């Protein structure tokens, strides 16, 4: 008793002279305890925390004093009734169990997580924490594999072809280059312990702000993890690391008469292709990235290493974890290894090109070919503006008619390809085509198809100076609405006064727009993209067919799939990454937007 009284006297002396404080109401503080001074000023400060700690200690000592008094009374009573002590203990344990069952606490049992109920991420990017972490990272990857140079930090936070203009603060503290899954696991364990946010980087070709370091922290560059680990030729699969480029992979596979169909933009790597769930020109025939990934090795936010599946072509063993990570854009885990399906190279591949008087007649031809069920490998559309840009850039060795053009790719046996070309030629003529030519050999086919692959770079070549930017975006709609949305979008671009082309993988209703603008024209370009996306969603389409959501498209998701579905994604994010360390702010918002940040629908 004397000890308790002494402690209380000391505590009173420590807080003597301090302003009177009172507890804020629980409702006002939203479940958190805080303090306010006599002038009702509510704030979290060091002094307020000291007052709070002091009061809590006084309360604890009062409770302890009362508990000692009860024990002494029980001991006195027990001297006359020996059975009392075990009886009291038994009843206390039973009562505690009963209350515990009745009051489970404030557990959130909802299946979804609205943004209004989230707490903003609490990261620690203070200089002292990052400097201390640097020593930990150095022990994992070596000083030679850590970069803090200005050029590296800039190149790992954005690109000149990205539709998201990186802000000055969207830069990592350091770029780390791990060499193995074990390295990535150790790095994430450090980041988890120190609450340091992480952004992943492989090819850097993504367009919607996927690798902008919105929270600072570190960037994990997978460039050292670029190995083709094993080709299982008999099983038609290959094991690769994330920094293997799809073009290099196909060069290696061609030696075994195999190939990997997804073919996005040049320079894309497997890690980023998995992250965005990409596709490319071959998607009409072969499907998208999710159709070609068998299994993944993933490092979770706390450093745990997970393998999603074995190598068989099919499995009904539990949740499909593999597809959960495809298209997650590095927000749920970091892919460090992938088992990919491959397929035999086609015996014969041919390319055909036909021109049309208008963009609608070209789109109508696509609808006719798809409706006829002709098994072609790819259908690509390039409008007159895109064909003019290709001519002006000189990126191909021939000159093209500057009119809407369709590119067809056929693959299969020589007999089948010849038959399919004849069918498409007839359908194109019926739709109003002006010319139709097809390559006589592989070299001619590569030359014709090169125009499609040069689309983005040829528009970028039209930049007048450093103040010009390119905005590349994509949407997809049901094939029956393709002609409508392409025609309406092209008309909208023409009225804006900006240079903008239409190009896309129209066999599955997916097309892109590449818009050139300068700093003063940003709002015009933004409006064009906004209306294009709104148009697609209102036609029961999607805000992005293959580019991914990133930062630019995240506020369109509620309009496309509904708010409950977005809230479910947020709940998934919280389950996989409770501290929101992995690529924070991408796909779903982590905190409320600022006034005026989200465009009106």
108-127 pLDDT, tens digit per residue, is 799 999 999 999 999 999 99
Predicted structure pTM score:
0.81
543-579 pLDDT, tens digit per residue, is 999 999 999 999 999 999 999 999 999 999 999 999 9
Residue 541: the pLDDT is 98
Residue 464: the pLDDT is 86
In this structure, are 427 and 566 located in the same domain? Answer: no
Task: List the beta bridge partners of residue 470.
Answer: 516
- In three-state form (DSSP H/G/I as H, E/B as E, the rest C), the secondary structure along 357-421 is CCHHHHHHHHHHHHHCCCCCCEEEEECHHHHHHHHHHCCCCCCCCCCCEEEEEEEECHHHHHHHH
In a domain? residue 111: no
Measuring CA to CA, which residue among 12, 13, 40, 10 is closest to residue 24?
40
CATH assignment of the domain containing 507: 3.40.462.10
Query: Whole-angstrom Cα distance, residue 21 to residue 252?
Result: 72
In this structure, are 184 and 88 located in the same domain? Answer: no
In a domain? residue 169: yes
Question: Which residues, in sequence order, are CB contacts of 142 under 8 Å at separation 6+?
Answer: none
In this structure, are 277 and 206 located in the same domain? Answer: no
In this structure, are 72 and 183 located in the same domain? Answer: no
Choose the final residue of a domain: 221, 250, 282.
221
Question: Which residues, in sequence order, are CB contacts of 349 under 8 Å at separation 6+?
Answer: 377, 409, 410, 411, 417, 442, 445
Element (H, E) at 201: strand 198-201
Question: Which residues, in sequence order, are CB contacts of 586 under 8 Å at separation 6+?
Answer: 209, 210, 329, 330, 331, 549, 550, 551, 554
In this structure, are 354 and 482 located in the same domain? Answer: yes
CATH assignment of the domain containing 335: 3.30.465.10
Residue 63: the pLDDT is 72
In a domain? residue 419: yes
Q: Residues 294-297: contacts with CB within 8 Å, 24+ apart?
A: 294/237, 294/322, 294/339, 294/340, 294/341, 295/322, 295/338, 295/339, 296/321, 296/322, 296/325, 296/326, 296/335, 296/337, 296/338, 296/339, 297/181, 297/335, 297/336, 297/337, 297/338
In this structure, are 330 and 370 located in the same domain? Answer: no
In this structure, are 399 and 508 located in the same domain? Answer: yes
Task: List the beta bridge partners of residue 378.
Answer: 409
C-alpha torsion sign, points 65, 70, 76, 82? negative
Residue 86: the pLDDT is 60
Q: How many independent structural domains does the chain possess?
A: 5
If 0-12 CB within 10 Å is exposed, 13-18 middle and 19+ buried, where does residue 489 land? Answer: buried
CATH assignment of the domain containing 210: 3.30.43.10
Residue 362: the pLDDT is 94
In a domain? residue 310: yes
In a domain? residue 139: yes
In a domain? residue 407: yes
Query: Whole-angstrom Cα distance, residue 258 to residue 273?
Result: 19
3-state secondary structure of 472: strand
Residue 469: the pLDDT is 92
Residue 132, both tokens: 């201390």
Q: Strands 305-307 and 293-299, how do they pair?
A: antiparallel
Query: Whole-angstrom Cα distance, residue 33 to residue 52?
Result: 9
In a domain? residue 276: yes
In this structure, are 287 and 190 located in the same domain? Answer: no
DSSP state of 582: B
In this structure, are 364 and 430 located in the same domain? Answer: yes
In this structure, are 412 and 560 located in the same domain? Answer: no
In this structure, are 496 and 569 located in the same domain? Answer: no
Residue 450: the pLDDT is 82
pLDDT means over runs of 10, the chain (601 residues)? 46 44 38 38 48 61 69 61 60 62 68 94 96 96 97 92 86 97 98 98 94 96 98 98 97 97 93 95 93 98 97 94 97 98 92 94 93 92 95 88 94 90 94 89 82 86 89 95 95 96 91 94 96 98 96 97 98 97 97 91 91
Question: Which residues, in sequence order, are CB contacts of 334 under 8 Å at separation 6+?
Answer: 184, 188, 198, 200, 220, 298, 299, 582
Range of the domain at 133: 127-221
In this structure, are 510 and 436 located in the same domain? Answer: yes
In a domain? residue 104: no
């Amino acid at each position: 008793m004397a000890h308790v009284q002494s402690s209380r006297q000391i505590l009173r002396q420590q807080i003597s002279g301090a302003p009177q404080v009172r507890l804020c109401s629980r409702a006002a503080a939203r479940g958190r305890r805080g303090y306010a001074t006599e002038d009702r000023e509510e704030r979290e400060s060091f002094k307020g925390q000291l007052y709070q700690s002091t009061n809590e200690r006084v309360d604890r000592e009062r409770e302890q004093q009362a508990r000692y008094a009860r024990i002494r009374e029980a001991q006195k009573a027990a001297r006359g009734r020996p059975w009392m002590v075990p009886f009291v203990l038994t009843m206390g344990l039973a009562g505690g169990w009963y209350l515990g069952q009745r009051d489970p606490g404030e557990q959130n049992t909802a299946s979804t997580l609205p943004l209004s109920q989230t707490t903003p991420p609490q990261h620690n990017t203070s200089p002292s924490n990052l400097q201390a972490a640097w020593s930990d990272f150095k022990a994992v990857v070596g000083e030679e594999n850590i970069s803090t140079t200005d050029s590296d930090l800039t190149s790992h936070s954005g690109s000149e072809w990205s539709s998201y203009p990186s802000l000055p603060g969207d830069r990592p503290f350091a770029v780390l280059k791990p060499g193995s899954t074990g390295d990535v696991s150790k790095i994430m364990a450090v980041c988890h312990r120190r609450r340091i946010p992480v952004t992943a980087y492989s090819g850097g070709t993504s367009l919607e702000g996927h690798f902008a370091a919105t929270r600072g922290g570190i960037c994990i560059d997978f460039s050292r993890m670029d190995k083709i680990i094993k080709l299982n030729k008999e099983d038609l699969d290959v094991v690769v690391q994330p920094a293997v480029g799809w073009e290099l992979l196909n060069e290696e596979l061609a030696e075994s008469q195999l190939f990997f169909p997804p073919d996005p933009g040049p320079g894309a790597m497997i890690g980023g292709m998995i992250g965005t769930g990409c596709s490319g020109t071959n998607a009409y025939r072969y499907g998208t990235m999710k159709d070609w990934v068998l299994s993944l090795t993933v490092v979770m936010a706390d450093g745990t290493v997970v393998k999603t599946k074995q190598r068989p072509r099919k499995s009904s063993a539990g949740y499909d974890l593999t597809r959960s990570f495809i298209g997650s854009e590095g927000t749920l885990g970091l892919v460090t290894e992938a088992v990919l399906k491959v397929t035999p190279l086609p015996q014969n591949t041919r390319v055909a090109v036909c021109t049309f008087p208008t963009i609608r007649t070209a789109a109508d031809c696509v609808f006719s070919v798809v409706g006829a069920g002709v098994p072609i490998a790819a259908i690509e559309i390039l409008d007159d503006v895109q064909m003019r840009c290709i001519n002006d850039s000189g990126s191909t060795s021939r000159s093209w008619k500057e009119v809407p053009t369709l590119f067809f790719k056929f693959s299969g046996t020589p007999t089948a390809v010849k038959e399919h070309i004849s069918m498409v030629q007839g359908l194109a003529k019926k739709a109003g085509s002006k010319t139709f030519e097809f390559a006589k050999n592989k070299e001619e086919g590569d030359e014709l198809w090169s125009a499609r692959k040069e689309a983005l770079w040829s528009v970028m070549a039209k930049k007048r100076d450093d103040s010009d930017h390119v905005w590349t975006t994509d949407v997809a709609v049901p094939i029956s609405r393709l002609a409508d949305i392409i025609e309406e979008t092209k008309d909208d671009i023409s009225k804006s006064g900006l240079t903008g082309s239409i190009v896309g993988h129209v066999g599955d209703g997916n097309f892109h727009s590449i818009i050139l603008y300068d700093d003063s024209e940003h709002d015009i370009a933004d409006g064009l993209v906004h209306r294009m996306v709104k148009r697609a969603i209102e036609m029961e389409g999607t805000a992005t067919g293959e580019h991914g959501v990133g930062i630019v498209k995240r506020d369109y998701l509620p309009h496309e799939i509904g708010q409950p579905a977005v809230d479910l994604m947020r709940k998934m994010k919280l389950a996989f990454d409770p501290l929101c360390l992995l690529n924070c702010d991408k796909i779903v918002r982590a905190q409320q937007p600022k006034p005026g940040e989200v465009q009106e629908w």
